[in-house]
Chains A and B, each alone.
Chain A
Amino acid sequence: MDKNKSKRNNFIFILESFIEKFKIPIIVICAAVLLGIPFMGFSQYLMRIIIMIGIYSMLALGLNLLTGYTGQVSLGHAGFYAIGAYTSALLSLKLGFSFFPAAIGGVLAASICGLLLGLPTLRLKGTYLSIVTLGFGEIVKMVLTNWDKVTNGTLGLKNIPRPVIFGIKLTLANNGLYYMMLALVAIVTVVCVLIIRSKIGRALISIKEDEFAATMMGIKTTKYKILAFVISAAITGLAGAFYSTVIGFIEPNSFTFDVSTLIISVVILGGMGTIRGMFLGALILIAFPEAFRFLMDYRFVVYGLVLVFMMRFRPQGILGWKSQMPYKLPKAVRQQLEKLKTEGVKAQ
């Protein structure tokens, strides 16, 4: 058993060393493929699915910050998604905002709700927190359904304008939306990486690992939990704003509990507490129902089975391994250590 385990770790080590060695070519190839996708002659239907994969990557990255890194399980992220989408759509429909200011409005509204939800729920742990977030998601949906005057109730909001950059309207047909999705996913990914690789990221992870020990090391756990809630909600709100403009039509039923579970499934399937896993998770879970349409109603049975097998045989998620590479020291530290080493050699 032990031998087997070390073998597997060894495999990861080889894989990671390979990626590290050919980092630049791999990045170039990935970027080329991603930028080239629109020229591969996919139908608009396929392009829309690819954009949805991007949106779910963002949603998963947002939830991952809260659930994967900080250990606070939220089952109500569809609520933040809806708030981002509705705020942005309403700002552009009723007040004539263009997409970017409207999206910023959506992000702000979602983060404020994240703060408001974060504050009272800090005393709750584990399951209790999840139940409250679940309730939050439902409340948001109810408000959207019943606040007819503003949200147009169950009829939803139609004709949400597309983003315009330098006078060019971004659409599915001219692939503007696709490239915008790429840009947004890139920004969100970079933000997540920057946060995780800092004292803030370490504080968040330490809260997940052992909240009591984190407190005793002087980490203001309340502050960081709220921060995680707010950033997570902001990212989710951004995804919502983008979703509303891509689809052009939103209604309360676009943001049901199923959406929350889908986001959390992406996080778990990909590998909680990793960035890389989110993309694969989104790719699999969004593409799956489309790719297996021939199974008709049975596809959800298969879908469920996949998740069950996954939990049994790889609970950490498909890409949920712990890096076997040495810890990445800041550059200045490496230089300093290098210097000390050479000095030591000279002294001998």
Chain B
Amino acid sequence: MAYLKVNSITKQFGGLIAVDKVSFEVEKHEIVSIIGPNGAGKTTVFNMLTGVYTIDQGEIIFDGRPIHNMAPQSIVDLGISRTFQNIRLFPNMRVIENVLVGTHLRTKYGLADALFRTPRYRKEETEKTLRAIEILKSIGLGHRIDDYAQNLPYGEQRKVEIARAIATDAKIILLDEPAAGMNPQESEELLSFIRELRGKGYTIILIEHDMNVVMNISDRIYVIDHGKKIAEGLPKEIACNQQVIEAYLGGVKKDAKG
């Protein structure tokens, strides 16, 4: 059985079917991309995976247990974390504090420990801070620890988001357009960073428009258009799939042909 199995999930907003019976599977240590034109429903799929939206039909099985319609916090707890299409950092917190918020879930001390600064508080706080520094260094932000998140350039803010997602001890990381707004060099770095992540045992699901990134990195690609899955396969197959080309570039009208 697949690590993450999405079984014909459907989401309706009133009369609009945003996601229509989409199914896909992700194996451990895979990098899977979900692509599709704007408004195809990719982010909605992410929102369903992470518990933001309830699903109207279907099921999502993660590591052998159903997780659909669970609270977002419980899903993060099980090990699925994400970044956002429009960066959602905590702008007035420092970079390291942003990442420490990510470790919140795995920090077990309570109010009494904080008030009396117990050994438990000190031990956990030290552990988590070291972990946050380590994550930030591995993502190339070691020099930004003290900065406020809002003062970082766009590309680095994206990286902080990824760092924050890693800090939750996630097993699957969902990246929502991580290369958006990055220059070619930055997205090249991002590529190698994502590969490194996979090497460290993470499983990655990616929404991305940058075809250079998608084609270079994905093990498999799913294509969604108008809420429906229209293709799946290896990058090579997707690149020459007629339906995908039509979805992106617009098809030739049938009556125009005749």
Contact = CB atoms under 8 A, between A and B. Distances in A.
Interface in A147-201: 191, 194-195, 198-200
Interface in A204-228: 205-206, 209-210, 212-220, 227
12 contacts: A191-B115, A194-B117, A199-B103, A199-B125, A210-B88, A212-B88, A213-B89, A216-B72, A227-B111, A322-B92, A327-B94, A327-B97
B121 A198 contact: yes
Interface stretch (A58-66, A95-103, A332-340): A332-340
Given A199-B104, A199-B107, A209-B91, A216 B76 contact: yes
A200 B96 CA distance: 15
B133 A218 contact: no
B107 to A, nearest CB: 5
A198 B73 CA distance: 20
A11 B145 CA distance: 22
B111 A217 contact: no
A217 B102 contact: yes
Contact of B90 (A191, A213, A220, A227): A213
Interface in B104-134: 104-105, 107, 109, 111, 114-115, 117, 121-122, 125-126, 128-130, 133
Contacts of B90: 205-206, 209-210, 213-214
Given A216-B76, A219-B73, A199 B109 contact: yes
A218 B105 contact: yes
A10 to B, nearest CB: 14
Contacts of B94: 327
A327 B96 contact: yes
A326 interface: yes
Contacts of A336: 126, 130
Contacts of A203: 101, 104
Contacts of A345: none
Contacts of A337: 133
B237 interface: no
B130 A200 contact: no
Interface in A279-313: none
A261 B126 CA distance: 40
A199 B73 contact: no
B73 A220 contact: yes
Contacts of A209: 90-93
A195 B115 contact: yes
Contacts of B102: 217
A40 B81 CA distance: 60
B84 A213 contact: yes
Interface string A73-101: 00000000000000000000000000000
Interface in B24-80: 50, 52, 72-73, 76-77
B158 interface: no
Contacts of B109: 198-199
Contacts of B133: 333, 337
Contacts of A217: 76, 81, 101-102, 104-105, 164, 168
A200 B101 contact: no
A86 B88 CA distance: 44
Q: Which of A218, A330, A332, A337 has the most CB of B within 10 A?
A: A218
Given A199-B103, A203-B101, A330-B126, 11 more contacts: A195-B115, A198-B114, A199-B107, A199-B125, A199-B128, A209-B93, A210-B91, A214-B90, A218-B72, A330-B122, A330-B129
B111 A202 contact: no
A32 interface: no
Given A194-B114, A195-B115, A216 B50 contact: yes
A199 B76 contact: no
B73 to A, nearest CB: 5
A53 B148 CA distance: 33
B194 interface: no
B189 interface: no
A2 to B, nearest CB: 12
A215 B100 CA distance: 14
Given A218-B168, A219-B73, A336-B130, A326 B146 contact: yes
B82 interface: yes
